[in-house]
Structure 1
Amino acid sequence: MSLKSNMLCCTILATLSFANVAPAFAQTAPAPTPPEATKEAEVVVVVGTRIEGAKAAGDLPVSVLTAERIAAVGSVSGDDLFRSIPQAGDVQFQESRTTGNLNDARGDNSSINLRSVGTGNTLVLLNGRRMILTPGTQTENFVPVQTANTNSLPVGAISRIEVLRDGAAAIYGADAVAGVVNVVLDKRYKGVRADLRHAFADGTEESTASIKSGFETPGGGRLMLFGSYTHRTPLMASEREFSASEDHRAALFGTPWAGDTSFDNRSTSSPWGSFTVIPASTIVRQGTTALTASGVFHVEPTNNFAAGCSSTVINGNLCLRSGTITGANSRVLRYDENPDRSIRGGLDRATVFGTFSQDIGPMEFFSELGYYHAELEGQREQSAPISSAVISIPASNYYNPFGATTINGVANPNRLANLTGVPTTGLALRITTYRPVDTGPRTFVVTDDMVRGLAGLRGDWHDFKWESAVTYSWARTDDETRNVISNTLFQQALAKSTPDAYNPFNGGTQPTYSFGDATPSNADTIKSFLVNANRIGTTSLATIDFKASKAELFKLPAGSVGFAGGVEIRKETYQDNRDSRLDGKITYTDVVSGITYGTDIMGASPAPDVKADRTVSALFGELSVPVVSEEMGVPLVKSIDLQLAARGESYSDFGDVVKPKIAGSWVIVDALKLRSSWSQSYRAPNLAQFYSAGTQVANTRTDFAACRLNNTTCTGVSTLEVRAGNQKLKPEDAETFSYGLVFQPIKGLTFTIDSWSLKSDGVIGIQGAQNQILYDLLLRQSGKSNPNVVRLAPVGTQVVGDLSFVQDDYFNLGPRTLEGIDIGLSYDLKTQKYGNFSLDLAGSKLTEFQQSASPLQQELIDANAAGKFGTGVTITQAGSQIQVNGNPEWRATANLTWRKGPISVGALVSYVGPVFDTGTLLVDGQNYQLESMTTVNTYVQYRKDGYRARFGARNAFDQKPPLSSSNYGFLGSLHDAIGRMFYLELSKDF
């Protein structure tokens, strides 16, 4: 029996066993209360204020997802749950990303991005205390970001989710820029419930077993335990029509974007390799026919008549052709990576969480202990060499068409006949574009572990309610990629002069050129250069806090002033331990050029290890101040209340900061309340941004300085970019303002509308390598140069040398402004005859999202307007981001529930507005627009005698995600590829 089967069986057996034992242990525990019956009691909002018993929280823009609303989502993952929040922005930590690979945060990871401010700007709390950040980082706006992992949450144990939509830095932490999400676990449940769930969609399925119990211990303590195990099968890209290929152009037939190659993401790195002779100035001919163009040639199938051959036929159906495969006639030779890829990996996830509390005299001891483990296995295409680690093919390679005339003492059978420009000793070659597909795809296995423990005391002292706790969380991610290629070992296989040498000149599969390799090299040779590579990351979070509050500190004419205050000390650690072949311990030296590169893993940029920590001490205070009460008889005023708060924080690496908050409410009549808030926040660079020694990436850039000054044609060149942390980085400062109203005209009906704005300065990003190169051109026009653009010495008639690399460190960008409107409507109707109805509508509109240019960008914009760069130059700048990529103007949800007796029926409608895909061509000045998407989740439930059966469907009408130019053909940060998924849940209360 497999490990996965064993885990599932053990979970089910434990569930059934505990279900029989727990009631006896609980003795006379009362019967469990159905969630529907406790809806009103559950909506006890605590986020937004630290003052117990204060009403300030009700005056703030807070959204609450009750257990009923969570059930309507119909999922067991935090990712699906948080995507259903209209104020949630795009999700960057998700599985449909194809960039980054081992340098990306992979595995069972998901993020929260309120207001689209950016990942890492939302503070996530669990039971009111900060969650740990996941060890994995990934690039967002070209800088590494971190997030709390929402998939680590025990979804089946969640009582409610509170979303404070305005800045809450003064209350919970100076880094709560976009707001706060507080996940509250169900500590009130009494009894034992066992659940089994199975869900299936086309090409994938998942099963979950869980148990939840709550009871009093013999000593009078209160214990809640929850455990769950989920097994999910992978979903391959080939299982969906829109993602089966990277070439999506067929779906554009009849549109203005028909034929737009932006929708064809097939890679020029394919089995049909392109190679450059060394030196590149060499002109190779076969007879009088040139086989190279600027030193470059590629392998071509002879039956691709549109392209044609430059050389004589080799191996019966191959030939050489000058140039690369980037031309239109050779486009069929590009490699389609999607058949090798999974959209969602296979997953095993286990979560265990418990809470315990016990009265100790006048005090209460409380504690939490949780453990999360996940193992995700996915698949990606084999890597290809990159320009930041050039791989040369020695002249000795047995299959080199430009090899020596004799090899091992006999005539070389693979050297082309009648060559000129090739010495008898042969020519070494440099791989320009090639993918060793015959090695098979890579698989990656990501193991995530997370532990959280908390112990505290609470009590009363002279009418002060006080609480103190120690919390420790630890997380570890082990990301292992299997079947990867060592550059060093691969080059050794290329250097062989015997038939078992690796052969990169045998092309791919015919006639399906874009996928597979039907002519693999020697199996033992392939095995000799395949290795595994790991990235192990760890984070920890230790906090100790004390807080006290009093709802009636002293009285004013309008009522009692409430107070809360406290201190908190937290220490965060972060460690990123890369594989020895990635962090520079094991390097790769090209045997032909003698150049040493920092990475020995094909296709991966070098990245050093990072180890950092930070300690933050905080002091906060809050007042709830009644200004006017109903008894004062002020016209048009039933009450006016203020919330005043401030928080000071001292960072071990950034100094001190104090941030305030002011919020107020004006109740005109019982049915109408106005509210407003203003606050400031402060986010220090995360540890990866501040302490990283840098990463290297290779991208195609235009060297305008070289082509303008050297008077040559401006073409794209592969450019090495070095991005690093910066000790001069400053924190991001932000200011949030909101105002709105709450209207309750009749019992059960509530309407809210809030307008908000967030202005931040110093958002961390990079200037951009293209901008750095343009700045180099601008400075050279006045006899200077950009020190961040490092060049080789000029050769021959060159005025400036070729690019060596561009240093593009993280820095603080210019101001950014976001504005929007939130709308909510809820209605509860209870009838004796027709049952109970609940309706919740929520919508969020983004009205402004403007990123200002940095001083350097503005200088370039002005210079370009003055004609200093000539034609064909575009300055990278932000501008408006509304409806751009992951920022739709509108997002909305509608949740409708009907209950009568043992039957419940629910539906959740989710709407995501259209966005423009900036990766596409402009047609009449406009990018391709992704259509809006509306999905419907439904369920029907029957409950009787402690048994419950629920049947439901996510995306019940099987809506396909709108087409985008991304690799998978859909925008994974906004949409998913699962389609309609049916599920059946069975549960029993004991």
Structure 2
Amino acid sequence: MTKIKYLVLLMCAVVFSVNSQETADNNDVEEVVVTGTQIKGARINEALPVTVITADDIDDRGVNSGDELLATLTEQGVNQFNDVGSNGGGVNASRGDVGAFDIRSLGTGNTLVLLNGRRMISTPSYQTEEVGGSYVPVATVNSNNIPVSLVDRVEILRDGAGAIYGSDAVAGVVNNVLDTNFEGFQMRGRFQNWQHFNRDDHKFSMKYGKDFNGGNTNVSMYFSYYQRDRVAASEDEIMGRCDYGDLVPAEFDSAFYRCSSNSAWGQFDMSGSAAYTDSSGEFLIKAAGDANCLLNLGGGVCAASDSSGNYTHNWNGQRDVLGAVQRHNTFVFLNHDLGDGRELFAEWGNYQSEYNGNRHSVSHFSSVKFVVPATNFYNFTGKALLMDNYRFVDAGQRNVDNDKETNRYLVGLRGVTDAGWDWESAVSYSTAEAFDVTHNRVSNTLLDGLLHRTGPGAYNPFNGGGVYQTGYVSHNPVDYTPGNIQDAVVDAYRYNERTMTTADLRLSKPDVFSIKGGDVGMAWGVEARNDTFLDDRDPRLDGTIVFTERKTSGQLSTSAGDSYPYVSDLANSSPTPDSDGARNVNSVYIEFDVPLVSPEMNIPVVEQFDLQLAYRQEAYSDFEGTGVPRVAFGWVVNDLVKIRGSQQDTFRAPNMITINESMVVRNNTRNDAATIYAASLGVDTDDSDGRYSVQRQAMGSSKLTAEESQNSTVGLVIEPTDNLTITYDVWSIDSTNTIGLFGEENHMLLDLFLRLSSNDINNCGAVISNPALVRQTPDNPASFLAAGLCPFGLAERVEDNYANLNDRSVEGTDLGFYYDMDTVIGKFSFKHQVSMLTKREQNFGETLTTLNAAMDSGFLPVQAIDGFGDILAVNGSPKRKSYTSLRFRRGDWALGINQNARSTVYEDRTIARAGSMWAVTPFKTMNVYSDYYTNVNGGDLRLRVGVNNWHDRRAPLASSRMGYFEDLDNNLRRNFYLDLRVTY
């Protein structure tokens, strides 16, 4: 059925093509791409809030990749698809060469990205981002698919455009317009070097185009190659450490201690106790000579009581800040004049990348316990033990290979009918693939077998795997039983694939009929789209190979929570079933450009007034579709002042993962409010600080509905002179039915509220708890009762499914100042753009309102309600972000300076430990370059020398993984580049 629809649309295009032959002999066909309207030549286009970034502007920013370009956009929020961030997500992150769009700080997936006016395919792999109280799957177009040196301009429509372009255009539209009709030959090379790191980048690009067939045919080709060196965190004195407590006030000390409690110096639990354990039978392995040693084990290690505190691991000593990348972009364009006012156009684009990055050695989840039997060759206790807080450093650091490839094929026709309608129809097919392999993983099943060996070939977890240094284990571990772990070391893969097939027919006419104010323009069209996705996980993740935990007795557990789908066979990875899905989307739209007032009408203070009226209806195969209207106006007061505005409904379709995903369990490190509260009363809890790994269970739902938004914009354009333009826009986006999760921390806070509200140590069986929360049996119930609390254990699992949550509101303003000036000494060009967020709020809902009131009254301890409430500037999304550039040219020489700046942002993860949010201070960087233009062998040569981050500034300190806010800032400091470009 889908193929028939595409065929019908293509046949319609052919009919228009034949019809146009009769009267359009002398019509020249020109492609006009205008973001914000489908009407070619529409007057309203002049009033739309569109930021245009030209090829020269991109050059000025000194960027190599799409993700670097995004970071300079004032409208962009955070990019959570980054290398440092992927350290936390592991195999579930979208790793490799990738960047994400987040216009208006609404989150990934709320920005529609186009290439030459048509939708781009999403990157094949997805990851999760926090929406509400926990992490929800999101997908994005990969910004690095866009060849920045081929871009003619980037158009950013800063208000919602669902009625024009369809779903996902909530925050706006980014249209990347490429140079598709080039004639000539251009070569370009760039070399870049970082002052403080062993990193060199190289980029080479070539562009060629030629007219054939008497000028009726143009073929142009583009190729680029980019190579990036890796940057290891250990190259930097800040990013290479894990304890930043000495750099912050004392109250934030523990929040900035980011070392891992999982190290090669494990913790072990036995039944009963011994001279080297605490009263609960828990002991640690420590280095011989440690003051807390109670039993010398030989080999440089000893046993010590668990109360003496465990060694921690510096995982940043093994991590890369950036992995090594090789990227290839290829594009081929064909434009052929068929005569009679018709044109054939075609496009093929190919993107390939190879990525390699290093990650820390693997540990195991605290929720997954290994049993070391009494028969283990190295078990000196004579008892079965539970192994905890252990890291397999002898397996080596994990190494990730991630290969991506994206292809886009497009062919279309355009022309003019005998009635004067511009028409265009195209069919496209896009594919995107990613293959991710992680080396040096550990199989739980194979490790269990090694622990149960009775000879010297058994795995020895009692030897310590590293050298104790200055508070945490070094990244150069020494293993006393080399080789044994290799029998449990495996590779693990993840394969992702997406396809997108589109067909469309578009018609527009700027003068369908006339009214007093002028000609009324109209556009209408139909579109069909088919999307598919595939997420194929390694057999050790998808349940093909099943691991089952053991009881202390050595027998395999029969508890459902101790095997798949709650536990995978890969240490430190959550189980993930394979998933796939498909979606068909059919759309129809109509748009009018209505001139109500023209200059000829001589109306005071209304020289010109235009309306844009649009409506779009979309039908989806996997959920209920929706229709959205749009009204925009442009009011020319006089030659100096213009006023513009819009009001529209937009929507974001539930992504296919949240609809089709089977039950998925994720292990996330969370603050347990109940455990923190109990510890504050002196209770001997099973976790010292209340922050530990908790399972979250979620499942896709076909009952999800689209997120709907109302977008409003009103603005002012002032042009005092021909070379000065000032713009100011105020906007707001109010969304309903945002798709997210209530969240593990919020569920645990609710659990504490219910327990305290019903606490009675004389009748603990009547205590009410949160049914969505599964807790373990406490090890020390007497300690709870002594503190006046009914006992409870650590949270094991939170059952929290995707749902349409409460309303979200985001508001802000945009300011633009553009000035060009010719003087006797040369030409100056100045730009200053500012985007400001004034409101960013996710409404509480009834339950969270109750919890917030309980904290205000003192009934509950103060803790951030994760992901809800006022989240302005919290965890990214600064209130103010600006870009300023000044360019001067005189003859063959040019000089450019530009600056990126942001205001303070706050981290709420510090509240649980420090009582307040950490302020990540403002950050700005300045880039400088100089150009020289000359002629070499008949070609135009431009030589550029540039310095990025001229002042060599470090990113401000944050409590994130490597000591800076990686989703927002760049911490690689000053770098230099040489750029050569020759055009014939």
TM-score over 0.5 for the pair: yes
Residue 295 of structure 1: aligned partner:
281
Give the 5 Å matches for 1:421-820.
Answer: 426-461=382-417, 462-512=419-469, 513-516=472-475, 518-591=477-550, 592-595=554-557, 596-598=562-564, 599-698=568-667, 699-700=669-670, 702=672, 704=674, 716=690, 719-775=694-750, 781=758, 786-790=770-774, 805-820=797-812
Maintained 8 Å contact 2:152/2:177: yes
Residue 89 of structure 1: aligned partner:
77
Residue 150 of structure 1: aligned partner:
143
After superposition, what is the alpha-carbon deviation per residue over 1:933-957, rounded to whole angstroms, capped at 9, x for unaligned? 1111221111212222111122122
2:175 pairs with 1:165: no
Distance, in Å, in 2 between the alignment partners of 1:783 and 1:324 is 31
Please state whether the residue corresponding to 1:973 is helix, strand or coil.
coil
Shift of 1:689: 1.4
Are the structure 2 counterparts of residues 956 and 552 from structure 1 closer, same or farther at C-alpha, using a change threshold of 3 Å? same
Distance, in Å, in 2 between the alignment partners of 1:299 and 1:152 is 49
Residue 109 of structure 1: aligned partner:
98
Shift of 1:258: 6.8
Maintained 8 Å contact 2:735/2:808: yes
Please state whether the residue corresponding to 1:481 is helix, strand or coil.
strand
Please state whether the residue corresponding to 2:298 is helix, strand or coil.
coil
Distance, in Å, in 1 between the alignment partners of 2:888 and 2:677 is 69
Distance, in Å, in 1 between the alignment partners of 2:137 and 2:923 is 30
Are the structure 2 counterparts of residues 788 and 922 from structure 1 closer, same or farther at C-alpha, using a change threshold of 3 Å? closer
Residue 250 of structure 1: aligned partner:
246
Given the alignment, which residue of 812, 820, 836 partners 1:828?
820
Please state whether the residue corresponding to 1:975 is helix, strand or coil.
coil
Which amino acid letter does the alignment assign opposite residue 45 of structure 2?
Answer: A
Are the structure 2 counterparts of residues 818 and 700 from structure 1 closer, same or farther at C-alpha, using a change threshold of 3 Å? closer
Shift of 1:590: 3.1
Given the alignment, which residue of 184, 206, 215 partners 1:211?
206
Which amino acid letter does the alignment assign opposite residue 602 of structure 1?
Answer: A
Maintained 8 Å contact 2:723/2:821: yes
Please state whether the residue corresponding to 2:658 is helix, strand or coil.
helix
Are the structure 2 counterparts of residues 768 and 50 from structure 1 closer, same or farther at C-alpha, using a change threshold of 3 Å? same
Moved more, 81-90 or 486-495: 486-495
Shift of 1:59: 0.5
Shift of 1:284: 1.6
2:339 pairs with 1:361: yes
Distance, in Å, in 2 between the alignment partners of 1:81 and 1:665 is 30
Shift of 1:789: 3.0
2:48 pairs with 1:56: no
Shift of 1:292: 3.0
Q: Identity, % of aligned pairs?
A: 36
Are the structure 2 counterparts of residues 840 and 770 from structure 1 closer, same or farther at C-alpha, using a change threshold of 3 Å? closer
Maintained 8 Å contact 1:545/1:568: yes
**TM-score, normalised by the number of residues in structure 2:** 0.88
After superposition, what is the alpha-carbon deviation per residue over 1:66-95, rounded to whole angstroms, capped at 9, x for unaligned? 111100111220011111110110111111
Distance, in Å, in 2 between the alignment partners of 1:91 and 1:703 is 29
Residue 318 of structure 2: aligned partner:
340
Shift of 1:862: 4.9
After superposition, what is the alpha-carbon deviation per residue over 1:141-188, rounded to whole angstroms, capped at 9, x for unaligned? 111110000011111110000000000110011321000000000124
Distance, in Å, in 2 between the alignment partners of 1:874 and 1:251 is 24
Distance, in Å, in 1 between the alignment partners of 2:922 and 2:555 is 52
Distance, in Å, in 2 between the alignment partners of 1:182 and 1:721 is 37
Shift of 1:900: 2.2
Residue 133 of structure 1: aligned partner:
122
Please state whether the residue corresponding to 1:438 is helix, strand or coil.
helix
Distance, in Å, in 2 between the alignment partners of 1:538 and 1:186 is 28
Maintained 8 Å contact 2:299/2:463: no
After superposition, what is the alpha-carbon deviation per residue over 1:473-529, rounded to whole angstroms, capped at 9, x for unaligned? 100010110111111111222222222322111124334252146541433322211
Are the structure 2 counterparts of residues 681 and 879 from structure 1 closer, same or farther at C-alpha, using a change threshold of 3 Å? same
Given the alignment, which residue of 893, 913, 920 partners 2:903?
913
Are the structure 2 counterparts of residues 695 and 180 from structure 1 closer, same or farther at C-alpha, using a change threshold of 3 Å? same
Which amino acid letter does the alignment assign opposite residue 828 of structure 1?
Answer: D
Distance, in Å, in 1 between the alignment partners of 2:752 and 2:877 is 34
Residue 25 of structure 1: aligned partner:
none
Which amino acid letter does the alignment assign opposite residue 532 of structure 2?
Answer: T
2:113 pairs with 1:124: yes
Distance, in Å, in 1 between the alignment partners of 2:152 and 2:356 is 31
Maintained 8 Å contact 2:624/2:705: no
Distance, in Å, in 2 between the alignment partners of 1:295 and 1:696 is 31
Please state whether the residue corresponding to 2:38 is helix, strand or coil.
coil
Maintained 8 Å contact 1:706/1:801: no
Which amino acid letter does the alignment assign opposite residue 287 of structure 2?
Answer: P
Are the structure 2 counterparts of residues 324 and 981 from structure 1 closer, same or farther at C-alpha, using a change threshold of 3 Å? farther
After superposition, what is the alpha-carbon deviation per residue over 1:807-840, rounded to whole angstroms, capped at 9, x for unaligned? 1111122111111110001111124x32221111
Residue 304 of structure 1: aligned partner:
290
Maintained 8 Å contact 2:393/2:477: no
Residue 350 of structure 2: aligned partner:
371
Are the structure 2 counterparts of residues 986 and 602 from structure 1 closer, same or farther at C-alpha, using a change threshold of 3 Å? same
Shift of 1:51: 0.2
Please state whether the residue corresponding to 1:369 is helix, strand or coil.
strand
Maintained 8 Å contact 1:453/1:471: yes
Are the structure 2 counterparts of residues 930 and 217 from structure 1 closer, same or farther at C-alpha, using a change threshold of 3 Å? same
Distance, in Å, in 1 between the alignment partners of 2:638 and 2:120 is 39
Gaps of 5+ in 1: 1-41, 403-425
Are the structure 2 counterparts of residues 883 and 806 from structure 1 closer, same or farther at C-alpha, using a change threshold of 3 Å? closer
Which amino acid letter does the alignment assign opposite residue 374 of structure 2?
Answer: A
Given the alignment, which residue of 337, 350, 353 partners 2:328?
350
Shift of 1:213: 1.5
Residue 414 of structure 1: aligned partner:
none
Distance, in Å, in 1 between the alignment partners of 2:202 and 2:696 is 44
**TM-score, normalised by the number of residues in structure 1:** 0.87
Which amino acid letter does the alignment assign opposite residue 114 of structure 2?
Answer: L
Give the 5 Å matches for 1:810-959.
Answer: 810-831=802-823, 833-862=824-853, 875-876=865-866, 878-921=868-911, 926-945=916-935, 946-959=940-953
Please state whether the residue corresponding to 2:149 is helix, strand or coil.
helix
Distance, in Å, in 1 between the alignment partners of 2:860 and 2:815 is 49
Residue 200 of structure 1: aligned partner:
193
2:262 pairs with 1:265: no
Please state whether the residue corresponding to 1:96 is helix, strand or coil.
helix
Given the alignment, which residue of 95, 99, 113 partners 2:88?
99
Maintained 8 Å contact 1:51/1:549: yes
Please state whether the residue corresponding to 1:523 is helix, strand or coil.
coil
RMSD of aligned residue pairs (Cα, Å) = 2.6
After superposition, what is the alpha-carbon deviation per residue over 1:574-594, rounded to whole angstroms, capped at 9, x for unaligned? 110010000111111235241
Maintained 8 Å contact 1:936/1:957: yes
Maintained 8 Å contact 2:910/2:916: no
Maintained 8 Å contact 2:181/2:218: no
Are the structure 2 counterparts of residues 531 and 666 from structure 1 closer, same or farther at C-alpha, using a change threshold of 3 Å? same
Residue 241 of structure 1: aligned partner:
237
Give the 5 Å matches for 1:344-423.
Answer: 344-362=322-340, 363-402=342-381
Shift of 1:346: 0.5
